[in-house]
Amino acid sequence: MNLTTMNLHDFNINFNLALTELANHSWTTWQPLVSPCFLEHITLPLEFGFLVIFLVQLLRNCMNNITKQNKASNIHPNGMKYGFAYKISLVSTALLFSVHALFLILMLNHEPQCTSKLKAFTSEIIQVLSCGIILIAICKMSKKPNAHFPWILRAWWFFSFLLSIFSTTLHVHFSVENKGIIGIREYADFLGLVSSTCLLVISTRGKTGIVIIATNDSISEPLLEEKNEKHSSEFLRESSPYGKATLLQLITFSWLNPLFAVGYKKPIQLDDIPDVDIKDSAEYLNFSFDDSIRQVKENDGTTNPSIYKAIYLFARKKAAINALFAIINASASYVGPYLITDFVNFLTEKESRGVKSGYLLSLGFLCAKMVETIAQRQWIFGARQLGLRLRAALISHIYKKGLHLSSRSRQSHSGGEIMNYMSVDVQRITDFVWYVNTIWMLPIQISLAVFILHTNLGLGSLAALAATLAVMTLNIPLTKIQKRYQTKIMDAKDNRMKATSEILKNMRTLKLQSWDSEFFKRIESLRNVEYGWLLKSLRQAAFSAFIFWGSPTFISVITFWACMFLGIELTAGRVLSAFATFRMLQDPIFSLPDLLNVMAQGKVSVDRIASFLKKEEIQHDVIEYVSKDKTEFDVVVERGRFSWDPETTIPTLDEIELKVKRGMKVAICGSVGSGKTSILSGILGEIYKQSGNVKISGTKAYVPQSAWILTGNIRDNITFGKEFDEDKYEKTVEACALKKDFELFSGGDLTEIGERGINMSGGQKQRIQIARAVYQDADIYLFDDPFSAVDAHTGTHLFKECLMGILKEKTILFVTHQVEFLPAADLILVMQNGKIAQAGTFEELLKQNIGFELLVGAHSKALESVLMVGNSSKTNLNPIPEGECITYSHSSSELLHTQLDKVQDNSTDNKGNNDGKLVQEEERETGSISKEVYWSYLTTVKGGLLVPIIILAQSSFQILQIASNYWMAWVCPTKADAKPIYDMNFILLIYMALSVAGSFCVLLRAMLVLNCGLWTAQTFFTRMLHNVQRAPMSFFDSTPTGRILNRASTDQSVLDMEMANKIGWCAFSVIQILGTIAVMCQAAWQVFIIFIPVTGICIWYQRYYNPTARELARLAQIQITPILHHFSESLAGAASIRAFDQERRFMSTNLVLLDGFSRPWFHNVSAMEWLSFRLNLLSNFVFAFSLVLLVSLPEGFINPSIAGLAVTYGINLNVLQASVIWNICNAENKMISVERILQYTNIASESPLVIEDCRPPRNWPETGTICFQNLQIRYAENLPSVLKNITCTFPGRKKIGVVGRTGSGKSTLIQAIFRMVEPREGCIIIDNVDICEIGLHDLRSRLSIIPQDPALFDGTVRGNLDPLEQYSDREVWEALDKCQLGHLVRAKEEKLDSPVVENGDNWSAGQRQLFCLGRALLKKSSILVLDEATASVDSATDGVIQDIICEEFNNRTVVTIAHRIHTVIDSDLVLVLSDGRIAEYDEPSKLLEREDSFFYKLIKEYSSRSHSFNNLASQHVHG
């Protein structure tokens, strides 16, 4: 037993001795690497190689010059102007030449540091030769027009900079080690380093700045030899201060000074912000990205290029420059930890070493921090700039793709989903660009850390490396989980935004049907799914934070125990150097999970955008364009076979044969869903062509069935990109019956139109887009049911003055349900089941007796009903002479919109000259973010009780971290031969306990911050959602959807993912810097003296910076909305844009809007760098002062270990001090998102949905009697009443028709019944219940309405008919059968689950209208309001629907506004409104007895117009 114990004891002794010997051996083998000849060993081959390459390149250029010397030059310079960069390069190179020449002279008189004289002399001779050749080359450049320095020159300058750093560092090292005095060589080294740094900065920009002064016009022109830069663009961008900045201004960001001067005096406006540089303009970037895609296509030989490769080609040059700065920054940051051991040793042996060595070390620290500061600011700025460029390039291509999506692709991507691509996904890709430099910084940072640790700890560095790699490896599985979470988050966000976008577009329908609460609950449920994934993602992020803050502890404990095991002495200097290095290692360790997370997010986003960009487009070669002189036909379709779904075997259109001669008028008619719109789409190239030929001769104009109106004024909508020609414009407006409308608008034709034409009636919108087509003066006109939204009189005017008047010489194809216009057509096509069932003139088709007579018969029957009422009144309805006109005109549902527009016009008159402006500029706060916003955010969760706990947790961590470091510095000896105070195991145990406790404080803090942040974000979202839901309709009329979507998407993402951390870090960074200053002051309290004024300067800088940066951030936020809004409008009208060949103009507008966003955003991120650079300089000054102070204090005055600890903390002072201000400013910028969301949590609300004390009976309304008593309605307090003293009663179970001219108040009356507008005076009583005293839900849910604009939602047939799931399948089928859709739905495979895409785009306009009828049939309300319910269906279907309404609503009250007179003529009572008052109200027969009645004139005009048609039709129908 004893023998065994002895053997084990001997074995342990021998093993420890072996390990110690191995450690000592490794230490000695490392030493030659920093030997006197180390520099020559490394640099000599590189120097020689560069010199050879340089000479070869010089010889090649000389040969080229000889061959070109006889060629005449196009430019005859009068003189040259030399730029700042050229002058600096000349001076710096001359300085370098002098330095190396001095070194060579010194070698002749003194012994070189390198023991090999040959190597030392050779190295310096090559340096002198290189500098001399470069100096000559630069001088030669002055005689020639050179825009850029040659690449070989720039590469040499980069190499020279690295060489200077190594040379200076090693010479300083040897000087300190040998205890020598700082000599001429060391001073020359610093001079050479400064020159090399200047040349490095010049090499990154590359431009010489030489300007030729030409003789022809004596204008100075910069010599730009960029292939893709246009002179015109350069001229436009001359106002960019960044583009004109000098080298010094670029380094210090002082080119921003003029902008700060303006912003400090007054709130910055968009016009105050300069343009971006040409290379940052959207037009240039779009072209550049196109070029990258083209290169990928050519290189890979594919039509589907990889977007990853395109992004690489697009970004590689700028990314390489950023990478260079990032590498320099990473390298310079490790100089401090490397010199700490020397500094502690100096303080220990200050008397023997001399004070000059200390000052030299201080200078080394300061130079490294200065290089680090400059490089860091440049790479961060460069990364932001590259992100901006990538954003503009991607958004422009997403927009371009959106304009060319095929119908099938468009249906598979909702507007909200594509909005997410442009806002969230593009943002994530630009975030990745910021992190990408971490990829090449990581290996450099880890290598330098290991090098420094190896220098101090020998083999212990391997343990540190192993521990570092272990921590980094741990992040890989976490990242995979994070990637999955991010995919789920984005999918959930897409679904939420898709639903939100759809609901906002159809708010009027939802409120009228009282479905708004149910639909907003759907958004809440979708948000809850998103919230669940966000919570999982953020909890994992909290665990990652724990790893980040705990990693230095783990790595240091492993390293120190390894050193103890290997017998390596842990002196104070080595420990403190290791601490500083571990803190530096913390950055790459933290960067890795962030990098992997951002890569995961970025890859998901890039894949999503790549998938979108590869989606199917419309066929670009489907139409063959034929010259007008080669054919007499304007439109030819031969054997046409078309389908909306390319993969289906059943075509939408088949066997289409059509030839239209120039000037022909072709009418297309048929039942609902027969293919009328599809045939126009086939001619336009919008539908997939399976076979056949389509030939077009001439330009085309298109008027879709659903009016597409752009936000802007009416004139811009009509001219649509064409130059304004007053004569042509007046004729167009006259022909399209818009004169009267312009008189009603206070702004005339400059009246602003709201989003989607919200403040215009259906008739006005239709006439505006007809005017747009007419103004284009095209050759071929395609009208898709242009008369459905206008009344009979206006329809006749349009047909006569427009189609048969101003366009009489043009080729016109028009779809119509108005049979009275068919006789005038040269050719009529009758569509049936996707085929042309009949074709011919009106007379020919009547003779064929196949099916056309059914349409004609239905129309004739309707006419007879009108004439019969007229005859029963015993009044002779003679035709009105042509010269006579009646006062009725235009759409019958226009008043609400016209008056709403008037309201907006007049209300703005009091504020300023904003005539005709409905949509106001987006709300923008000015000045600092109010304290209420911060308070609201901080106190949302538990009244802010958790905030002190979070601060306490972070403070505890900081105290414990300082305590652990202080403990190690105090107990470790300052010299290697001294013994530690306590046993090393005990020392490390105490250190580990303190550090682990601190790490758990961080975990607690991270969990609390992330949970509170997400909880707050959810609360804010719910508040905003509820407030938007309860907002009155006027809010949605005057607020573009893009504004609300921007808050629900971009701003909400900031609250979800960023806001809590940004606010938290404001406090955490303050705690960190206070801890650092405390440690530094403990070592030398005098530091506090300089710290106070420097802090004051920092605060002054922040206050000077904040006003400008805050307004820039706000403007950038606001400028996102126009991009999204314009894209949304463009998607909705893509077919019209393509038909008018306006893609280029719309893409140009998108680029202009992108530049509008880029300007404030670019200058905002530049402003951040402006501030950070100045704060870093001040921090470096404080650090340098503290070093000088420590050096100057007499020996023994301070403990070297504590002084070393102060330096360890002081190294990061510049980062910490900058981060305090950075975090405060960044948090304030991000707080703008909170401010914007809070704006939408304070919207004025509608009346309550339910008033419990005043609930109507269950069977209310029973009879449906509507009584108006002295009703007055106005849209704002300062405006006149729209309805004035309306007093009448609609008897229960009767049918009431409402008519009147534009602006008379018809639609306002309907809106008043549903309380979309509230009465100012008077009341509306329905079945003895005052509707103003009951809740809105109780009112609207008991009434039914079929609106003019049918709204369908993404989902199923059943979901659209019965969204609240209140009815059985049998009842739904019954409703479908009654509204003529049963057979269509039964023919589909999914039956009631058949899909309905966003906006119901996979159903025709007529079918969508029938869906709305189906909803009313299911609801079975006692009161039904019809607002142009049958405008989009043919006469036959209209007749069937009227019969259904008569049958189903026989004992119910029906209020009708209609363009088709026969739908009103059958009413029991007719109400005629004029200027908001009741003009007439009686039975139709009694009104017709009075020749002076308005209704009499209306019927008289209608019968007159239809008289000739009826005679023509009757002889065929009855004959």
| Residue 1267 confidence class, pLDDT cut points 50, 70, 90 | very high
| Cβ atoms of residues 120 and 103 within 8 Å | no
| Cβ atoms of residues 273 and 1112 within 8 Å | yes
**Long-range CB contact pairs, 796-803, < 8 A, 24+:** 796/1505, 797/737, 797/889, 798/735, 798/736, 798/737, 798/767, 798/770, 799/824, 801/734, 801/735, 801/736, 801/737, 802/735, 802/736, 802/770, 802/774, 803/665
pLDDT score of 887: 34
pLDDT score of 528: 92
pLDDT score of 1303: 62
Longest dimension (CA), the chain: 139
Lowest mean pLDDT among 53-67, 343-357, 708-722, 1439-1453: 53-67
697 or 1464, higher pLDDT: 697
| Cβ atoms of residues 751 and 717 within 8 Å | no
pLDDT score of 879: 40
Q: State the average pLDDT over residues 530-557.
A: 82
| Cβ atoms of residues 809 and 781 within 8 Å | no
pLDDT score of 209: 64
DSSP bridge pairs for 701: 781
Q: Using the 8-state DSSP alphabet, how is residue 405 labeled?
A: B
Please name which of 1176, 1138, 1002 lies closest in space to residue 377, comparing C-alpha atoms. Answer: 1176
pLDDT score of 239: 63
Q: What is the mean pLDDT of the chain?
A: 76
- pLDDT exceeds cutoff 70 at 4: no
Lowest mean pLDDT among 331-340, 1076-1085, 1172-1181, 1384-1393: 1076-1085
| Cβ atoms of residues 917 and 908 within 8 Å | yes
What percent of the chain lies above the pLDDT cut of 90?
4
DSSP bridge pairs for 211: 81, 222
What's at 1188, amino acid-wise? V
DSSP bridge pairs for 695: 624, 636
| Residue 415 confidence class, pLDDT cut points 50, 70, 90 | low
629 or 902, higher pLDDT: 629
The SS3 assignment for 1372 reads helix
Greatest mean pLDDT among 889-898, 1261-1270, 1479-1488 lies in 1261-1270
pLDDT score of 570: 75
- pLDDT exceeds cutoff 70 at 220: no
Greatest mean pLDDT among 348-357, 569-578, 692-701, 1107-1116 lies in 692-701
Q: Model's pTM, two decimal places?
A: 0.67
Tokens of 844: 């020919």
Pairing of strands 712-713, 752-753: antiparallel
Lowest mean pLDDT among 346-360, 556-570, 1290-1304, 1498-1512: 1498-1512
Q: Using the 8-state DSSP alphabet, how is residue 266 labeled?
A: S
The SS3 assignment for 1198 reads coil
Tokens of 101: 């020449």
Question: How many CB atoms within 10 Å of residue 1244?
Answer: 10
**Long-range CB contact pairs, 621-626, < 8 A, 24+:** 622/685, 622/689, 622/694, 623/683, 623/685, 623/694, 623/695, 623/696, 624/693, 624/694, 624/695, 624/696, 625/695, 625/696, 625/697, 626/695, 626/696, 626/697
| Residue 554 confidence class, pLDDT cut points 50, 70, 90 | confident
How far from chain centre, in Å, is Cα 356? 56
Helix axes 282-300, 1143-1192, angle to 10 degrees: 100
Q: State the average pLDDT over residues 395-399.
A: 90
| Cβ atoms of residues 736 and 798 within 8 Å | yes
Q: State the average pLDDT over residues 55-63.
A: 63
235 or 1244, higher pLDDT: 1244
| Residue 530 confidence class, pLDDT cut points 50, 70, 90 | very high
- pLDDT exceeds cutoff 50 at 888: no
Tokens of 277: 């540089």
pLDDT score of 896: 33
10 or 419, higher pLDDT: 419
**191-196-197 Cα angle (round to 5):** 100
Expressed in percent and rounded to 5, the helix, strand and coil fractions of the chain are: 65, 10, 25
Tokens of 566: 């290997």
Tokens of 57: 């390149």
pLDDT tens per residue across span 592-609: 766 777 777 788 888 888
Lowest mean pLDDT among 481-490, 671-680, 745-754, 1142-1151: 745-754
What's at 179, amino acid-wise? K
Helix axes 1200-1210, 1059-1083, angle to 10 degrees: 150
- pLDDT exceeds cutoff 80 at 1478: yes
Contacts of 939 (CB under 8 A, 6+ apart): none
- pLDDT exceeds cutoff 60 at 639: yes
pLDDT score of 143: 56
Q: State the average pLDDT over residues 732-738.
A: 87
| Residue 979 confidence class, pLDDT cut points 50, 70, 90 | low
How far from chain centre, in Å, is Cα 897? 32
Phi-psi region of 1455 (alpha: psi -120 to 50; beta: other; left: phi over 0): beta
CA distance 528 to 522: 10
- pLDDT exceeds cutoff 60 at 914: no
The SS3 assignment for 709 reads coil
